[in-house]
């Protein structure tokens, strides 16, 4: 249970779309919520995390835009979800304009970090805050990286995956040097792994030989139940708990907590 300490803030980022950022953020958050308090911020104007948690488009405002751009207080914005202990800040439709609106601001890359600082008391009620980033390295993702303690990079095991990952790791290094010394690569999660596909296995083994223990042992298999779940507004853990995809996210959460304990002094 929350102990009054600040939560650990993790950005789910990769400039490639469709690699499993949102799916991993939702399902890892859901699995962790069985005994931790988690807040998920949908920072992607496409609002897939909001859809995946069953929030209709016309009920998403005020949400992450109100926090990031308007500086509204978090307690009035965070919503309970159908999963106890999992709260959500949906992506309000206005978020699509945020990149442009933030450009002219002072400290435009620190708006989210400043909003978190102003809401420290409310955040202390959570163990983890997950930031589901859009598929770009624009100003919203930059705000997430400046506000985060660590980054989880979902990596789809396909041909160009490793080429793409150097963009995000270099961006993490730059943000760490220039803007947020706390930031680190927390881990890489291999997603949509298909054991019958040699290329998928090859990419997975290349990722492990290069990124070593940064790569989670748990891999997420390609599983049709994972694809179906969002259209029912449910995490796959609630849609079909016994499916291979849901069970992989349960194991990922156990590994995540084990790594989290090992990280602490
Ligand atoms: P991102 O947030 O990186 O754009 P998503 O999490 O939205 O990626 O995933 C992209 C698509 O792939 C979605 O349609 C999602 O349902 C599907 N998907 C994600 N993970 C899996 C999986 N393990 N098996 C099958 N489909 C998946
Ligand atoms: Mg997404």
**CB contact at 8 A, 29 and 8:** no
Task: Give the model's pLDDT for residue 114.
Answer: 98
> DSSP string of 98-126?
HHHHHHTSTTGGGHHHHHHHHTHHHHTT-
- Mind listing the pLDDT tens digit for each residue in 88-122? 999 999 999 999 999 999 999 999 999 999 999 99
- Mind listing the pLDDT tens digit for each residue in 160-169? 888 889 999 9
Centre of ligand 2 to C-alpha 4, Å, is 30
- Mind listing the pLDDT tens digit for each residue in 51-73? 999 999 999 999 999 999 999 99
Task: Give the model's pLDDT for residue 220.
Answer: 97
pLDDT over 80 (residue 1): no
| 34: helix, strand or coil | coil
Task: Give the model's pLDDT for residue 162.
Answer: 82
Query: What are the backbone angles phi and psi of residue 130, rounded to the nearest 5°?
Result: -105, 135
Taking alpha carbons only, the member of 42, 86, 34, 36 closest to residue 60 is 42
Task: Give the model's pLDDT for residue 185.
Answer: 97
Centre of ligand 1 to C-alpha 72, Å, is 31
Task: Give the model's pLDDT for residue 3.
Answer: 64
Task: Give the model's pLDDT for residue 159.
Answer: 79
Nearest-CA residue for ligand 1 atom 11 is 18
Other C-beta atoms closer than 10 Å to the C-beta of 196 total 7
Pocket probe for ligand 1: among 15, 17, 18, the residue whose CB has the most ligand atoms within 8 Å is 18
Average pLDDT, the chain: 95
| CB within 8 Å of 104: residues ≥ 6 apart | none
The reply to whether the predicted model has a pTM over 0.95 is yes
Nearest-CA residue for ligand 1 atom 14 is 227
The pLDDT > 70 percentage for the chain reads: 98
The pLDDT > 90 percentage for the chain reads: 90
Task: Give the model's pLDDT for residue 246.
Answer: 98
- Mind listing the pLDDT tens digit for each residue in 135-156? 999 999 999 999 999 999 999 9
Q: Give the pocket of ligand 1 (CB within 6 Å).
A: 17-23, 48, 135, 191-192, 220, 222-223, 226-227, 230, 245
- The three-point CA angle 14-224-136 to 5° equals 15
Q: Report residue 251 as tokens.
A: 């194991």
- Mind listing the pLDDT tens digit for each residue in 36-45? 999 999 999 9
Task: Give the model's pLDDT for residue 95.
Answer: 96
- In CATH terms, the superfamily for domain 8-259 is P-loop containing nucleotide triphosphate hydrolases (3.40.50.300)
Task: Give the model's pLDDT for residue 265.
Answer: 61
């Amino acid at each position: 249970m929350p102990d009054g300490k600040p939560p650990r803030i993790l950005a789910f980022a990769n400039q490639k779309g469709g690699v499993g950022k949102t799916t991993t953020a939702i399902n890892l958050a859901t699995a962790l919520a069985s005994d931790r308090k988690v807040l998920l911020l949908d920072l992607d104007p496409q609002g897939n995390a909001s859809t995946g948690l069953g929030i209709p488009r016309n009920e998403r405002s005020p949400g992450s835009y109100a926090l990031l751009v308007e500086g509204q207080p978090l307690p009035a914005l965070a919503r309970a979800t159908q999963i106890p202990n999992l709260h959500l800040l949906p992506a309000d439709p206005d978020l699509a304009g945020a990149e442009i609106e933030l450009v002219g601001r002072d400290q435009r890359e620190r708006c989210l970090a400043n909003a978190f600082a102003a809401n420290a008391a409310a955040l202390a009620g959570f163990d983890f805050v997950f930031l589901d980033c859009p598929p770009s390295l624009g100003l919203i993702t930059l705000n997430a990286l400046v506000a985060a303690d660590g980054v989880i990079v979902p990596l789809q095991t396909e041909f160009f995956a490793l080429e793409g990952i150097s963009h995000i790791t270099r961006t993490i290094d730059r943000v760490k040097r220039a803007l947020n010394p706390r930031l680190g690569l927390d881990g890489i999660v291999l997603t949509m792994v298909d054991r019958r596909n040699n290329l998928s296995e090859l990419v997975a083994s290349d990722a492990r030989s290069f990124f070593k223990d940064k790569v989670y042992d748990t891999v997420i298999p390609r599983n049709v139940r994972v694809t179906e779940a969002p259209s029912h507004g449910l995490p796959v853990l609630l849609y079909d708990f016994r499916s291979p995809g849901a069970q992989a996210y349960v194991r990922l959460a156990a590994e995540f907590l084990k790594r989290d304990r090992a990280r602490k002094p």
